[in-house]
């Protein structure tokens, strides 16, 4: 009887080939594909939680609770994909033989270790963000950048040259001066015409220089410009004005803007939340103040926040608090645009140097 056996070197050669393949492609990071995935998904989550945190803190003010803010200071995503293939073979030199045997084993592992750092808003940064009034220069820079002047001034100012805005805050509740809404409408018409421009430049201390630039002004715009100067009691032919923070101007060439802080803006919005009646009756939430009579479309709530026991199906932003859902309707464009503008203002309120993020050591796998 003649027996034929495979040479043992055949199994060794095969093992070497597979081992080489494993060494080349066995362990590697996800590479560019992870950037395409992570950047979009992390960005969506950060934007969504930013809206929810702001909405929740506004609701808390209605209930007399302290707002808490956590900034995401850094996001470090570390991921890796590992694979391994093992090959084993054995043969027998004796006779009779049970035959050759081979073993193949493949393993894989995916690792994702995101490192997210949170920075609580407190101390000096809390004061800058929430308690300090917005800079008049920053407010007018937004207008210069193209934001609607009427919406900006209605949300951010208490008064301009002694002409007062409406307030729904329990501590400052009052109707708007008769000429404040006229001022908003007139300024909006001037902005849309693009016949009058302005330039803002630092002047020293907290004051800024406000330059009014004319470009072949038609009669209707000239009339509106004259009306604005009359309402604010400005010098009729002054083209350079001083922009400053204050209640009343020091001269007829000064625009004194009494701006709100972010906490004041939040209090204005919190006062008009549609809180559950049972919470108000039980004393858990502040009752809605006796608001001044609404005489203009401008008297509508800045942001309409609704409440319900069931989670809304179509919401722009929603949070759960005290066994109720508080939300902004996704079909309410006025409330959505105002809320988005509040988020922009919240970023603008940071006037100092941002604190350094904590130093984090991440393994390089």
97 belongs to a structural domain: no
Count how many domains the chain has.
2
191 belongs to a structural domain: yes
pTM for the structure as a whole: 0.76
Asked if residue 119 has pLDDT above 70, the reply is yes
Show the domain range for 203: 135-260
Q: How confident is the model at residue 349 (pLDDT cuts 50, 70, 90)?
A: low
Asked if residue 146 has pLDDT above 90, the reply is no
Q: Are residue 154 and residue 75 in the same domain, yes or no?
A: no
Q: Could you give the CA distance from residue 2 to residue 306 in angstroms, rounded to a whole number?
A: 91
Question: Regarding beta strands 306-308 and 324-329, do their DSSP bridges make them parallel or antiparallel, or are they unpaired?
Answer: antiparallel
Residue carrying structure tokens 């690792």: 111
Choice between 85 and 142, residue whose per-residue pLDDT is larger? 142
Asked if residue 292 has pLDDT above 90, the reply is no
280 belongs to a structural domain: no
Choice between 143 and 351, residue whose per-residue pLDDT is larger? 143
35 belongs to a structural domain: yes
Q: Are residue 115 and residue 139 in the same domain, yes or no?
A: no
Q: Are residue 183 and residue 86 in the same domain, yes or no?
A: no
**CB contact at 8 A, 357 and 73:** yes
Q: How confident is the model at residue 332 (pLDDT cuts 50, 70, 90)?
A: very high
Q: What is the pLDDT of residue 80?
A: 65
Asked if residue 41 has pLDDT above 90, the reply is no
Q: Are residue 20 and residue 84 in the same domain, yes or no?
A: yes
Q: Find the range with the poorest average confidence among 47-51, 89-93, 187-191, 236-240.
A: 89-93
Q: How confident is the model at residue 47 (pLDDT cuts 50, 70, 90)?
A: confident
Q: How far is CA 96 from CA 3, 4, 8, 11, in A?
A: 10, 12, 17, 20
59 belongs to a structural domain: yes
339 belongs to a structural domain: no
186 belongs to a structural domain: yes
Q: Are residue 145 and residue 239 in the same domain, yes or no?
A: yes
Q: Are residue 67 and residue 147 in the same domain, yes or no?
A: no
**What is the mean predicted confidence (pLDDT) over 78-84?**
66
Q: How confident is the model at residue 288 (pLDDT cuts 50, 70, 90)?
A: confident
**Domain end marker among 260, 294, 316:** 260
Q: How far is CA 134 from CA 49, 76, 129, 211, 244, in A?
A: 24, 33, 9, 20, 11
Q: What is the pLDDT of residue 365?
A: 46
**Domain end marker among 240, 260, 280:** 260
Q: Compute the radius of gyration of the chain from its Cα atoms.
A: 33
Q: What is the pLDDT of residue 1?
A: 42
96 cis-preceded (ω within 30 degrees of 0)? yes
**What is the mean predicted confidence (pLDDT) over 78-98?**
59
Q: Are residue 72 and residue 141 in the same domain, yes or no?
A: no
Asked if residue 306 has pLDDT above 50, the reply is yes
Asked if residue 83 has pLDDT above 90, the reply is no
346 belongs to a structural domain: no
Q: Are residue 173 and residue 235 in the same domain, yes or no?
A: yes
Q: Are residue 87 and residue 170 in the same domain, yes or no?
A: no
Q: What is the pLDDT of residue 6?
A: 46
Report the percentage of the chain scoring pLDDT > 70: 75
**Domain end marker among 233, 260, 287:** 260
Q: Are residue 151 and residue 60 in the same domain, yes or no?
A: no
- Sheet containing strand 306-308, edge to edge, reads 306-308, 324-329, 315-321
Q: What is the pLDDT of residue 22?
A: 47
DSSP for 333-353 reads HHHHHHHHHHHHHHHHT--SP
Q: What is the pLDDT of residue 113?
A: 72
Q: Are residue 160 and residue 112 in the same domain, yes or no?
A: no
Q: Are residue 209 and residue 256 in the same domain, yes or no?
A: yes
Asked if residue 355 has pLDDT above 50, the reply is no
* pLDDT 10s digits, 182-225: 999 999 999 998 877 778 887 766 678 777 767 678 888 889 98
């Amino acid at each position: 009887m003649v027996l034929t056996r495979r040479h043992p070197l055949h199994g060794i050669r095969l093992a070497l080939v597979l081992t080489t393949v494993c060494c080349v492609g066995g362990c590697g990071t996800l590479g560019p594909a992870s950037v395409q995935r992570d950047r979009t998904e992390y960005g969506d989550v950060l934007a969504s939680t930013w809206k929810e945190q702001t909405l929740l803190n506004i609701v808390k003010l209605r209930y007399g609770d302290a707002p808490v803010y956590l900034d995401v200071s850094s996001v470090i995503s570390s991921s890796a994909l590992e694979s391994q293939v093992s090959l084993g073979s054995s043969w027998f030199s004796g006779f009779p033989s049970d035959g050759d045997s081979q073993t193949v084993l493949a393993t894989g592992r995916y690792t994702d270790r995101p490192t997210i750092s949170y920075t609580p808003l407190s101390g000096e940064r809390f004061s800058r963000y929430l308690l300090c009034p917005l800079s008049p220069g920053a407010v007018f820079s937004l207008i210069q950048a193209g934001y609607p002047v009427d919406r900006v001034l209605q949300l951010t100012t208490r008064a301009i040259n002694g002409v007062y805005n409406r307030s729904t805050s329990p501590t400052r509740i009052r109707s708007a001066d008769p000429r404040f809404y006229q001022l908003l409408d007139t300024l909006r018409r001037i902005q849309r015409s693009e016949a009058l421009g302005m330039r803002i430049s630092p002047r020293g201390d907290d004051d800024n220089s406000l330059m009014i630039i004319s470009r072949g002004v038609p009669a209707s715009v000239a009339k509106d410009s004259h009306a604005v100067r009359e309402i604010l009691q400005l010098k009729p032919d002054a083209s350079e004005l001083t922009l400053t923070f204050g209640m009343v101007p020091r001269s007829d060439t000064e625009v004194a803007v009494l701006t709100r802080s972010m906490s004041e803006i939040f209090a204005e919005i919190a006062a008009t939340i549609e809180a559950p009646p049972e919470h108000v009756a039980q004393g858990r939430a502040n009752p809605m103040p006796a608001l001044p009579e609404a005489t203009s479309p401008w008297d509508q709530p800045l942001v309409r926040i609704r409440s319900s026991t069931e989670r809304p199906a179509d919401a722009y932003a929603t949070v759960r608090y005290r066994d109720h859902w508080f939300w902004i309707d996704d079909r309410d464009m006025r409330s959505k645009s105002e809320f988005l503008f509040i988020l922009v203002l919240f970023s603008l309120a940071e006037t100092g140097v941002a604190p350094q993020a904590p130093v984090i050591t991440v393994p390089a796998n």
